[in-house]
Amino acid sequence: MTTPLPHAGRSGADSGAAPEARTESVAQFDAAERGLANRLQNALHAHPTAVPALVLVASVILFGASVGERFFQPFNLSLVLQQVTIIGIVGVAQTLVILTAGIDLSVGAIMVLCSVVMGQLAVQAGVPAPIAIAIGVLVGVAAGFVNGALVALVRLPPFIVTLGTWNIFFALNLWYSRSETIRAQDIDATAPLLQIFGTAVNVAGARLTAGSIFMVLLFGLFWYILNWTAWGRHVYALGDDPDAARLAGIRTRRTLISVYVVAGMICALAGWVLIGRIGSVSPQAGQTANLDSITAVVIGGTSLFGGRGSIFGTLLGALIVGVFRNGLALSGVDVLWQDFAVGFLSIVAVAIDQWLRKIAA
């Protein structure tokens, strides 16, 4: 029978005790470093819509206190919703693209081009309005496919691709429309279906348009799609880590093309809503929709680096922009400073996103 050497036993005990001491020391150090700011950072990272929700509530309280009863009148609040309708719908398309770590600068040009196609076919060419609308939607789908194919198959940067197609679609818009506006009277006489989203109902002093209701329903639809369908999960996975998504069996190129195609279709629907919103078909309308939609998405908490964000965050971002512009206008602030305020909000939103990304890193 062999007796263990005392020295060896002590050495083993000592070597076993030392790692325990080191582990306990590290655990204590981590606990000490975890402060209030770190817990807040984790909470906001887990709930990306929390920041825009807080900003929206704070801005409503601020302008309500400074402007007074005029701000809280039902008609004024419904006016804010009307003003953000186009930005919100185009923002849905922009959100899908940004979730894939891309960007689409051509959304405004696609929207206007599709509205011009619908108007020209229905009013000038005598095509039945439903067919003209369907062709306009197909134009949006085709435009989205061009963007998606260039990004996914040719592997060009989304910024460069959509910057180029923005100019191309805008030029086609001016060429096809001959830079002429189709008047509301002509649309009402020949194709009133084009103006259906301008239909309004009065509810307790508020004026709700069909376009605004459509916007809210569209957000609800894509919230369900992004959170409860395989396609939605693939979009998030593609933006978070495309290599890991590909290794997991996701057809990343097909998914990326489908995102741009769906975005183009949404822009075409936004073009139809735009006709109802302004009553006419103008080749010069909605030219800032691309930048406005990016602003709404960024303020709404969706990361420009992809993979993180919420579709309802974009709705909150659009409402924040609308509340700021409306509140500042009622306060008598010049439009120049309204743009300044919205730009400042965008920079702050990106700074917050960078801060929250440190959690993921």
The set of residues, in sequence order, having a beta carbon less than 8 Å from that of 139 and lying 6+ positions away, is: 113, 114, 117, 268
Q: How confident is the model at residue 42 (pLDDT cuts 50, 70, 90)?
A: low
Tell whether the model's pLDDT for residue 10 goes beyond 80: no
How far is CA 85 from each of CA 20, 72, 292, rounded to the nearest angstrom? 60, 19, 12
Ranges 50-59, 80-89, 307-316: which has the least confidence: 50-59
321 with 54: CB under 8 angstroms? no
Rg (CA), the chain: 26
Say what the pLDDT of residue 48 is. Answer: 67
Say what the pLDDT of residue 15 is. Answer: 44
Displacement of CA 281 from its chain's centroid (Å)? 25
Q: Look-up: residue for tokens 């420009």? A: 304
> Tokens in use for 126?
């005598």
Tell whether the model's pLDDT for residue 6 goes beyond 50: no
176 with 256: CB under 8 angstroms? no
Q: How confident is the model at residue 247 (pLDDT cuts 50, 70, 90)?
A: very high
Ranges 318-322, 330-334, 348-352: which has the least confidence: 348-352
Q: Report percent pLDDT > 70 for the chain.
A: 84
162 with 293: CB under 8 angstroms? no
Average pLDDT of the chain, as a whole number: 86
Residue 147: other Cβ atoms inside 10 A: 30
> Is 227 or 27 the better-scoring residue by pLDDT?
227
pLDDT 10s digits, 327-349: 888 888 888 888 888 888 888 87
One-letter amino acid of 49: T
Tell whether the model's pLDDT for residue 185 goes beyond 60: yes
Helix, strand, or coil here: 189? Answer: helix
> Is 3 or 56 the better-scoring residue by pLDDT?
56
> Is 169 or 43 the better-scoring residue by pLDDT?
169
Distance CA 206, CA 201 (A): 8
Ranges 29-38, 67-76, 203-212: which has the least confidence: 29-38
Backbone angles phi, psi at 221, to 5 degrees: -60, -45
Mean pLDDT for 172-183 is 92
> Tokens in use for 152?
């996914």
Ranges 62-66, 128-132, 237-241, 273-277: which has the least confidence: 62-66
Cross-strand bridge partners of residue 207: 202
Say what the pLDDT of residue 331 is. Answer: 85
92 with 218: CB under 8 angstroms? yes
Say what the pLDDT of residue 350 is. Answer: 77
Q: How confident is the model at residue 29 (pLDDT cuts 50, 70, 90)?
A: very low
Tell whether the model's pLDDT for residue 11 goes beyond 70: no
> Is 35 or 133 the better-scoring residue by pLDDT?
133
Find the DSSP H helices in the chain.
Answer: 6-33, 36-46, 50-67, 69-72, 74-83, 85-99, 107-119, 129-152, 158-177, 184-190, 210-228, 230-240, 242-247, 252-278, 289-299, 311-330, 335-360
Say what the pLDDT of residue 84 is. Answer: 93
3-state secondary structure 137-183: HHHHHHHHHHHHHHHHCCCCCHHHHHHHHHHHHHHHHHHHHCCCCEC
Cross-strand bridge partners of residue 200: 209
Ranges assigned E (strand) in the chain:
200-203, 206-209
Say what the pLDDT of residue 334 is. Answer: 85
Tell whether the model's pLDDT for residue 46 goes beyond 70: no
Ranges 115-129, 226-240, 285-299, 339-353: which has the least confidence: 339-353
